[in-house]
Amino acid sequence: MDVEDAFKVVGSLGRYQKYMVFSHFLLNITYGFQLVLMVIVAATPDPNIPSERNMTTIVTEWKLEDWTVDLMSSLFMAGYGVGCAVMGQVSDLYGRKRIFLLNYTIMHLSSLCCYFTHRWETFAFLRTVCGFFVGGSGHVFFALLVENIGKEHWGTAGILYSLFFSVGVMLLSMFGYLLQNWRTLILLGSAVPLVAVPIYAYTMPESSRWLYHVGKVEEAENVLRYIASKNGGSASGISLRNDDDGSTSHGEDMKKYSVIDMFKRKKLAIFAATSFYLWFACSFVYYGLTFDAKFLSPNIFIANTLSGAIECPALIITYFSISRRRIGRKGTLVGCFLLSTVSSIGMLFATGLMSDNLSTVQLVLGLTNKLAVAGAFSLLYIYTAEVFPTQLRLVAIGGSSLFARVGAIISPFVPLLAPIQSYLPYIVYGAASICGAMLNLILPETLGRPSPEMSDFQPKVESATDGDDVTARVRSRSSRDDEKRPLITA
């Protein structure tokens, strides 16, 4: 049997797997906290608002200008993008669990060091380092989440995983309001999560899918048996060795893949380039709206809470939409981009309204836009994981995340267009979203389809016999069941 068949024996989402999934959900709160931290820590308090009157931030302490804050946000995202690209490849070589634990620990230690800084240059450097390890651990953590449960549960797990990210954003606002001091806020958000490191190291196994696809079959079987025993089921009958000699025929599957391999085959290259843009556009709009959340409310705590809270209904809608066969993953993602486009374009007409109505319309359109891109962002992790084979899953997510960070790096500067014309940032957001909707049509629907293999992306060879065209599929010598597996088509 292969890994997918093994999960039918082990359990797709048994008792222990539910514990694992929920643990991932809780830890994702810390990612929401870290990624949006600058919205509170680098805010410019309004003395006319009671809840901000006694607030201390790096802006008030170091007398920073807006461009400095935007630069630090961009440096964090630059570090995040590089971390995604580098650590995704490293985790494919050395394993998901150990790379996650290393990155997660350094992420919070570097953030904790910010508590002791007294110069903005040092703070900016440490936030860049933190960004690198946030990116280096985040998508590896997501892979660990889905690779030890049945594929039919990936959609549900991915959406709920994103929901807890939103909880982290809202908790940031709550603790910022209660603590009123940026150093105490960083201390809380960096020191407390480190308690989870030894617990996770002791209780969570390595990815069985990763072990299997790199040829560590015995270790993969041990992980599956461990999960089966913790689920309260039987571990007998789990064998990933299918050949007569007791070995597993993975051949090409055991090869180490890099980002270069995604561009050696035409279909993979098209899928990769499309995925890169979708992540770029989604991140560009998402963080542009997040960092400029003050348009939702003059109170920074209320604005950030609204920005996080609107993601909850977005995720609920996405959850039900992606499981409907007539809509699926692809239709939902296209719909999210189109809704974002409509909301952005709506700002063009909103500027012609009377000032009394303008703020209400801006609030509605802004929340609708955030709802749309939040739904798209949560779905992209699931969709990308399902479009690409296991051997390239983290390479694809890592490369896509790198382009997402490019969008996030640029996004803090887009609101600077507002003094020219208040609607210009939304024209830019709308253009990025409509391009995403159109390019998304290239990718396949993945709902209800088996996980792709590298052999599914082999090129077709055309030959002619007696005037008739005969298409011969070039098979990987290591694939035993290509004829049974449906091809992925764009």
Does the pLDDT at position 323 exceed 70?
A: yes
3-state secondary structure of 453: coil
3-state secondary structure of 464: strand
Residues 228 and 218: their CA atoms lie apart, in Å, by 15
The more confident residue out of 383 and 485 is 383
Q: What number is the average pLDDT over the span 284-303?
A: 78
What's the predicted TM-score (pTM) here?
Answer: 0.74
pLDDT on residue 74:
83
> Which tokens hold the place of 305?
């809470």
Torsion sign (Cα): 86, 83, 158, 329: negative
User: Which residues contact residue 31 at a Cβ distance below 8 angstroms, ignoring those fewer than 6 apart?
Assistant: 134, 138, 141, 165, 168
3-state secondary structure of 473: strand
pLDDT band at 476 (very low <50, low <70, confident <90, very high): very low
194-203, 347-356, 379-388: segment of lowest average pLDDT: 347-356
The DSSP call for residue 48 is T
pLDDT on residue 119:
93
Domains in the chain, start-ordered, CATH in brackets?
3-234+255-442 (1.20.1250.20)
Which of 168-177, 280-289, 383-392 has the highest mean predicted lDDT (pLDDT)?
A: 168-177
29-38, 176-185, 305-314, 357-366: segment of lowest average pLDDT: 357-366
pLDDT on residue 482:
44
The DSSP call for residue 470 is E
Q: What number is the average pLDDT over the span 197-214?
A: 88
Q: What number is the average pLDDT over the span 217-239?
A: 82
The more confident residue out of 55 and 364 is 55
DSSP string, 308-354: HHTHHHHHHHHHHHHTSTTTHHHHHHHHHHHHHHHHHHHHHHHTTS-
pLDDT band at 237 (very low <50, low <70, confident <90, very high): low
pLDDT on residue 475:
42
pLDDT band at 129 (very low <50, low <70, confident <90, very high): very high
pLDDT tens for 62-103 read 999 888 888 898 899 888 888 877 887 788 778 889 899 999
Half-sphere exposure of 131 (CA within 13 A, CB side): 27
